[in-house]
Amino acid sequence: MEQFWNQYGAEILLKFWEHFYISFSAIILGILVAIPLGALLTRVKRGSETVINIVGIFQTIPSLALLSIMVPIFGIGKIPAIVALFLYSLLPILRNTYVGIQSVDPMYLDAAKGMGMSKWQQLVQIELPLASSVIISGIKVSAVYVISWTTLAAYIGAGGLGDFIFNGLTLYRLDLILMGTIPITLLALGTDAVLKYLETQFSVDRG
């Protein structure tokens, strides 16, 4: 074990960091875009389902195909991978934000109006906090998907733990495949556990 770590430890840490960086850059961008957009759609209403369906189209494009489409636009490396994974991350967060805000009990909104709150204040102080557990559930789904799909980013030279898996498949080496697979699985499970905890906490607060 010590010999293995001495040989591959630094490379594993580097690839893990690359995988983490690509995944969470895409997820954070998804959060920054999808939550405000979802909130906006609850105000616009007309055409909201159309927008959600258009965003959903990205989910139907095979991962390798979308990554390949990004290469002529952004070149190879991390940026096209982050952009492609960002597009994949949008739908669960957007849909859950929209549904979560829509499901807020009108009683709370009536009380807010009675207190003289503007629509902006209602959104920020009432609707988003009450919808937070549903939104976090969408982020959780998106994060687990993106962490898994980041494996394919190695295909376009973005690095990450997928490099070990692709090299292992090429060289028929199970140890390399496991060096990529195990950390990816642990990262996905860890992220899922943290977000599940946050989701539970916000559900309790809402209750």
Q: Which residues contact 18 (CB under 8 A, 6 or more apart)?
A: 78, 158, 159, 160, 161
What value does the mean pLDDT take over residues 92-99? 95
Mean pLDDT of the chain: 89
pLDDT of residue 205: 56
Whether the predicted model's global pTM rises above the 0.75 cut: yes
CATH of span 6-206: 1.10.3720.10
Inter-residue contact 201 to 145 (CB < 8 Å): no
pLDDT of residue 204: 53
pLDDT tens, residue by residue, 18-51: 999 999 999 999 999 999 999 999 888 778 888 9
pLDDT tens, residue by residue, 140-156: 999 999 999 999 999 88
CA distance 11 to 1: 15
Per-residue pLDDT at 1 exceeds 80: no
